[in-house]
A and B are shown apart, each in its own frame.
Chain A
Amino acid sequence: MASAPTKAEHRAASPFGAASLDAVRAFRADPLGPHGPELARIVSLLRCGDVAGKYCLICVKPHAEWMIGRMSGQRGVPPVIDGNRVFTSLEAAEWAVFKLRWQAACGTAIDEDAL
């Protein structure tokens, strides 16, 4: 019996087809969605990692400022702030995390000038 693909293999193989740059553009235009089916599929796959190291947002000023955090996956170890960038909109923070995840999954950063 063939073993199921690992999460990493699954991520590497499936989300980044020919239409994926269109999806990236769509995400940048509306990071909070709702997203179309192809983008939703890609976003879901990018988000499906384990808790350890998973991105989150840490609110530093309610309704006004957020920073990117990483979760520990360990009971009793709180998320920690990752980087020093302060976002003034949830949309900007979502887009920043999307780019980080894309780079981690693809090995290359999104070339925003080429979008």
Chain B
Amino acid sequence: MTKTLMGYADVISAPPGGRIAFKVSSDDAKPYRAQIVRLIHGDTNPQGPGYHEQVVAGAEWSLAGRPQAVRPGSCLVIPATSAFSQLNSFGLNLLIWPTTPAKPDQVLSSLWAPDRRAGFILALSGADGLTLTLGDGSGGVVSVSLGAPVLARAWYRLDVSFDAPSGRVDLRQTPLARHPGVDDEGGVSRLVELRGLGRPDEPLVFAARVATDAPGFQGFYNGKIEAPRLLDAAGVAVGAWDFALGAEGQIVHDVSGHERHGRLWQGPSRAMTGHDWNGADYHWQGAKAGYGAIHFHDDDLLDAGWETDFSWAVPTDLRSGLYAARLTGAADEDYIPFVVRPAKDGPRARLLFLVPTASYQAYANEHLALDAAIAELVHDHLPVFGPNDLYLAQHRELGGSLYDRHSDGSGVFYSSRLRPILNMRPKYQSWLGGTGSALWQLNADTHLLAWLEQIGVAFDCIADEDLDAEGVEALAPYACVMTGTHPEYWSTAMRDALDAFRDRAGRIMYMGGNGLYWRIAYDPAGSGAIEVRRCEVGNGWITAPGEAYHAWGGEYGGLWRRIGRAPQTSVGVGFVGEGFDRSSYYRRLPASHDPRAAFVFEGVDDEVLGDFGLIGGGAAGLELDRTDPALGTPPNTLILARSEGHTANYLQTVEELLINYVNQTEISPVFGEMTLFETASGGAVFSTGSIAWAGSLSYNNYDNNIARVSGNVLRRFLDSVPFSAPLPARIKETI
């Protein structure tokens, strides 16, 4: 099946009565039908219960279908003004740090009316190097090229001017670091016939130019730009932009006194080190210098900007849950998932399932197995690609995940949900999901939702984005919060909310592995996009020195463990290692027979738990967590069970290592731990410490020891009777 139908919604969640707009591209312009469905079990594995969705009555559309394009690439747009269009003579100064200098047609700055060919374009033009193109709007177009080489990831000062009365063009390129044998410094002066710029009534654009035949921009540049200044004939600044100001947003400030502020397009990377960064300051907020750059990419994407095909008002009586708009064409289908929240003032279930949409976004459209040679080694099997993967491989314009690199090799800091996310889908199989069902993130989480439906426990859903926006008040109505299988990405507001909920006697069922791991920030402008800075420890990429602080909010990024709030402080366990082939099982520890844990094992006599399942064949697998008192596991934590028998593919995560040694895997095997602890306020936290856990719930028609343990915990956690939390007289079988 070739992928032709896809879309996205304008929101990730909506309450009853709220309206959702769906934006769809039918690449072959063929008609399609749309229906709203409740997602129950997204796993199509014939070894399991099978795919299950429920159609929502009265929510159906027949649509004509039309292609909608995605045009990535970032730039800075300064609105058109007569001060620009009246320029004939001009000067332009800026600093650049190009990352793909050999790529042709990379516009550094432009004031260009494409229809009349009026104005100027300053660009890096492949072998021609720095090139200034001038157009007078009357057919006269000239280009002057310097022809000097430009090194990648090196700073240059560029000084460009055009004197209209004389027709004199000056270009000068000055490297800030000189190297023997590299002739990258130079200048050229030339007289041209042109005598004016033909009143280009267009915005001044940095890192691109106004597109010729489509809305938007083209000629995108890869690299950093710093401190651009546009001068008039007298050498007086018409605009001068300081990129260090307001780096937390999309507005760029003019410091010339003319207030010609600009807006960024498609989210280039802000709060980036500039030409003068020297390590004296590591935080862009408060730094006196060193953070004057913006890094533009030709594949940045914050908003695909599609037109709405249909919209839907969520019925006021619709159950909260995970839903999707199912699109069905003649030759393809797609699902656009979203969360229906409970009504703000309506009745609530006692259980909340926190849909880890930040983590879905972090992996959105990942290309790891396509781009990284190590994917097969990590997985220990050939990566398997389906139609969505093949489409993503060809259509890089859909943007990358937070694990991917931009086309210039730099890391992707931002992930938007305003674009089709082809791996955030029911039925989707992921190479990351191990053997068996091969599920990851959203589709894996449907194992939990289907189990809740099976046992008949009512639950509400909210999205991570809701939690970030509303804090603990979003959790307060509930007795218990259940996580997804891999809730890995958390903003500070989200972690604060979860901890506050727990400390108010809330109960938490952490049903996954490698959760609460990376710190993120949501876009303060409300686009729903998230930012990560993979500092100190990387994955897919690692931040450059000095770029560890988020632009959005200015917090230090990276692992929560490095920030002093390891996952263990919230849920008792934290990431220790991973493998992506086969899963294993848990063996109960003596603490599982502690009277405090009796409710967990009611009706479970087995010592081995979860030696079955759809994710790798066991409940302990993919990514595993364990206790660590030094990282904040509460002292009254009971370690109920520990996984064992993992394959040699399960390796410690790098932040666990201070040094490597021979046969480390055998000497320090990776295992996950199942834990329980009570809180002083009468709450409690149960953790599985494994992504694969949920894949075992449905085994034997949901009658098995993993389902029983999960159900026992859930029933007790929904019971309002407070937990007593006596610290053991002596700490035995605890941490």
Write the residues of chain A forming the contact surface with B, with a CB cutoff of 8 angstroms: 32-34, 37, 40, 44, 47-51, 54-59, 62-63, 66, 69, 71, 75-79, 90, 93-94, 97
Contacts and interface: CB of A to CB of B under 8 A. Distances in A.
Contacts of B369: 56
B373 A77 contact: no
Interface class of chain B by DSSP: loop
A24 B394 CA distance: 35
A13 B688 CA distance: 44
B307 interface: no
A92 to B, nearest CB: 12
B384 A56 contact: yes
B44 A54 contact: no
B432 to A, nearest CB: 14
Contacts of A44: 377
B384 A59 contact: yes
B133 interface: no
B371 interface: yes
20 contacts: A34-B581, A34-B647, A44-B377, A54-B373, A55-B382, A56-B376, A56-B383, A57-B383, A58-B384, A59-B429, A62-B44, A62-B427, A62-B429, A63-B45, A75-B396, A75-B407, A76-B393, A78-B370, A90-B384, A90-B435
A54 to B, nearest CB: 7
**Which 9 A-B pairs give the minimum distances between C-beta atoms?**
A78-B393, A34-B647, A78-B394, A57-B384, A59-B386, A78-B390, A57-B382, A51-B373, A47-B376
Contacts of B373: 48-51, 54
Contact of B648 (A32, A34, A77): A34
Contacts of B45: 63
A57 B581 CA distance: 16
B385 A48 contact: no
A90 B581 CA distance: 13
A51 B372 CA distance: 7
B46 interface: yes
B410 interface: no
A103 to B, nearest CB: 17
B376 A90 contact: no
Interface of B: 44-46, 369-373, 376-377, 380-386, 390-391, 393-396, 407, 427, 429, 435, 581-582, 647-649
Contacts of B380: 33-34
Nearest to B379: A47
Nearest to A62: B44
Contacts of B390: 58, 78-79
A32 B44 CA distance: 21
Nearest to A46: B376
A71 B380 CA distance: 17
Nearest to B367: A75
B647 A79 contact: no
A51 B435 contact: no
Contacts of B393: 76-79
Given A51-B373, A54-B376, A79 B385 contact: yes
Nearest to B51: A62
A56 B394 contact: no
B308 to A, nearest CB: 28
Nearest to B1: A60
Contacts of A32: 381, 435, 581-582
Given A59-B385, A78-B393, 15 more contacts: A32-B381, A34-B380, A44-B377, A47-B377, A48-B377, A50-B373, A54-B376, A56-B376, A57-B384, A58-B385, A62-B44, A62-B429, A66-B384, A78-B394, A79-B370
A97 B369 CA distance: 17
A33 B647 contact: yes
A37 B396 CA distance: 38
B53 to A, nearest CB: 16
B396 A76 contact: yes
A76 B394 CA distance: 4
Contacts of A58: 384-386, 390
B385 A62 contact: no
Nearest to A48: B377
A59 to B, nearest CB: 5
B370 A93 contact: no
A77 B370 CA distance: 10
Contacts of A47: 376-377
Contacts of A59: 384-386, 429
